[in-house]
Chains A and B, each alone.
Chain A
Amino acid sequence: MGSVGAKEVPVLLSPDGKRIDGRKLDELRSMRIVAGALHQADGSAFVEWGANKVMAAVYGPREVHPRHLQQNNKAIVQCKYNMAAFSVDERKRPGLDRRSQEISKVIAEAFESVIFVEEFPRTSIDIYIEVLQANAGTRCAGVVAASVALADAGIPMVDLLPAVAVGKVAGKIALDLKKEEDNFGEADLPMALVPQSGRLVLLQMEGHMTGPELSESLDLGVVGCRAIYEKMKQALRDRYQLGGPSEGAAQ
């Protein structure tokens, strides 16, 4: 560990089945969601998930800016996923890169499939995801934050969109990888689930898995998503909970 330069592979799974941070294979990292964290946006959310810190802001439906992008039968969904320069160990060069463009695209497409875009023709719904601190699984954290922000913005959609990554670590399928597991593990499989229908609207994979491992991962991911779904709903309830026992009498 102390040697300079050579990177040693950490022990990802202890003999008694504990992961590098002491979690079990099917255990999520701790998660905190704050709905409505920003004032100026139409909707917003802040998510702390393990060591990830992600802020999402939603604007719209609003006038489409380069006019030619507007679609006369539905709203367009635009997403910008961005990692702060200080979000990782080695300073990240700020701005768009291939990775963030790809993530922005898949997230926008995932949300386009759950938002009732036909209700707002010729408009744009803009999602901004800023990763302030990254520790693997930031696209999933981004999806969770953006989804809570969309609900906070009052945008009609089929359902909230919980997301989680499942991976293969030291030969075993594990839920919600953290940085070391992602870097030194064998596979990573981020996914986003529509709980209402059971559909997956985001699914990517890096690394190698066998067929049976893939189906095991999908099952585990769906269970993880459902747990995250409850936390997302709780965050929104906390924000919009109507105060006071005398509430029933008020208009």
Chain B
Amino acid sequence: MGHGHRRGHRGRGPGGVPPRSDGERTLVLPGEEIDVHGLQPGPGTYRVDGRTYASVLGLLSRRPPVVRVIPLSGRYIPKPQDIVVGTVTDVQTTFWLLDIGAPRWAPLHMTGTPWKIEVGECGQYLHVGDTVVVAIENIDPTGRIGVTMLGDDLGKVDGGTVVTMSPAKVPRVIGRSGSMIQMLTNETGCRIAVGQNGRVWVDGTPEGMQRVREALRLIEEEGQRSGLTDRVAGYLGSTRQPGDAAPMPTPTRPPFEPPSPIDGGDEPDDDAGPAPF
């Protein structure tokens, strides 16, 4: 499971980039009729009486053999192989439920983790509110999202914060073959994990995290305009601290949680005392 193409902040495999529509970028709205030019109607469209209409707000993309609408907004729609940043929302006996910003919570089964867990011990490893980096394994026909924590760059992350943005802007955060994320990492010394679901985990100095947060806001707001990289570089340059070692060789991957249980699951409530060993 730790191999194969996964779309994360490390760049994407061929075909991972949303299809470009040969220079044409028309905004379409739900109910708008689409001229298919003999192509097949794809996602974001519907057909009635031989006519094709858009069903979502987005950009029209004609890429033979299909015409589709690439959504500009909306919740994250999970795709297998995507790497996402999630928050634990519920603990069950054999799995956790994760909020990954998708229409539904995604169950992370205990067998999808690097830990040896007995049934009922899930609560000792991940708690409600913990942040994890996971990969989408499969989506079944009922819309249930299977995720796994097994694989490179996956695991629980400690500390830091999660910045939420529109999933449609994630490609701009990553940049061409990871250039944008590389620049953010080098300039701020922060560790960053970008999820395809529009959640970005950032850890570093408070100033560094603030600069990343601002840069992400800039990317989200001005993502469609050209020259984005220069503007982000300009922002980062203007806020550079004297003490910042500009190109810091920090790993961009989130750290792995050591495979030992974190204690404090079923302890009586003595929040002051140290752990009893």
Interface residues of A (CB under 8 A from B): 42-43, 60-63, 72, 75, 116, 120-123, 151-160, 194-197, 233, 236-237, 240-244, 246-251
Contact = CB atoms under 8 A, between A and B. Distances in A.
Contact of A242 (B27, B46, B55): B27
A108 to B, nearest CB: 18
B57 A236 contact: yes
B56 interface: yes
A250 B56 contact: no
A241 B30 contact: no
Contacts of A237: 27, 29
Size bracket of the B interface: 20 to 34
Interface in B24-60: 25, 27, 29-31, 44, 46, 48, 53, 55-58
Contacts, number: 110
Given A60-B103, A120-B143, A246 B31 contact: no
Contact of A241 (B27, B58, B228): B27
A160 B56 contact: no
Contacts of A233: 29
User: Which of B25, B46, B225, B226 has the most CB atoms of chain A within a 10 A radius of its CB?
Assistant: B226
B143 A121 contact: yes
B23 A155 contact: no
23 contacts: A43-B74, A61-B104, A63-B104, A72-B142, A75-B103, A121-B142, A122-B143, A123-B104, A153-B73, A154-B74, A154-B75, A157-B31, A196-B48, A233-B29, A241-B27, A242-B224, A244-B226, A246-B225, A247-B25, A247-B224, A250-B224, A251-B20, A251-B171
Interface in B203-221: none
Nearest to B24: A248
B225 A244 contact: yes
